Chains A and B, each alone.
Chain A
Amino acid sequence: NAGVTQTPKFQVLKTGQSMTLQCAQDMNHEYMSWYRQDPGMGLRLIHYSVGAGITDQGEVPNGYNVSRSTTEDFPLRLLSAAPSQTSVYFCASSSDWRTPLHFGNGTRLTVT
């Protein structure tokens, strides 16, 4: 099992560009979520999904879109990147939202 796979590992964007951070899991988990990690702020929840076709906002959803068309994939879209979105992004999954999350190894995004 690969677990939770995030691509790319690193990305540099210019302000205003768009991109999609990919996240895939092979554990047949229903619950998936996206976090960003910033110094002194810990991990903050961006969006989450309790199953295919269902998504909801977390603590810091502005500037990000998600969709969940399959159980395996949960992409995070930045429509117009801003320097404030420079961060390390983690995708996570679990069998349901009350069980411990399995995290990917993160995507380090820099917006200039």
Chain B
Amino acid sequence: DQQVKQNSPSLSVQEGRISILNCDYTNSMFDYFLWYKKYPAEGPTFLISISSIKDKNEDGRFTVFLNKSAKHLSLHIVPSQPGDSAVYFCAASASVITGSSNTGKLIFGQGTTLQVKP
């Protein structure tokens, strides 16, 4: 079962506009969420994170929003730039130790390919 889902495989936006990438999760024990960016032939690089005690975290052009009741998070990029064109992965982890624990495991979504057109 896919515990972290990115239902949009791709997104295309115009330079200067807002890019909104979405992510849904099913495991209510997840309490820490991250976004990674990946260019071709490179490893993913960390972009921004958010803890479940917050509903928003901002870093420059990047903002992550968390809606715990809907088990949904989104990444907003404003303004979008051509250099933002990449694959974006959301990921989640849980801090609470349970019987079938996700503690210690960072679970990724399928990724969304963002294309920003000049």
A interface residues, Cβ below 8 angstroms from B: 4, 31, 33, 35, 40-45, 48, 50, 56, 58-59, 90, 92, 97-98, 100-106
Instruction: Establish whether residues A58 and B105, one from each chain, have CB atoms under 8 Å apart when the complex forms.
Output: yes
The residues of A that contact B91 with a CB separation of less than 8 Å are 43
Which residues of chain A come closer than 8 Å to B22, judged between CB atoms? Answer: none
The number of A-B residue pairs with CB atoms under 8 Å apart is: 60
Q: Do B93 and A43 touch across chains, with their CB atoms under 8 A apart?
A: no
Which residues in A have their C-beta under 8 angstroms from that of B93?
97-98
Chief secondary structure at chain A's binding surface: strand
* A31, A35, A50: the one within 8 Å of B108 (CB): A35
B positions within 8 Å CB-CB of A: 4, 6, 9, 32, 34, 36, 41-46, 49, 89, 91, 93, 95, 103-111
Contact sample, A vs B, 26 pairs, CB 8 Å cutoff: A31-B104, A35-B108, A40-B110, A42-B6, A42-B110, A42-B111, A43-B91, A43-B111, A44-B108, A45-B106, A45-B107, A50-B104, A59-B105, A59-B107, A90-B43, A90-B44, A97-B104, A97-B105, A98-B95, A100-B34, A101-B44, A101-B46, A103-B45, A105-B41, A105-B43, A106-B43
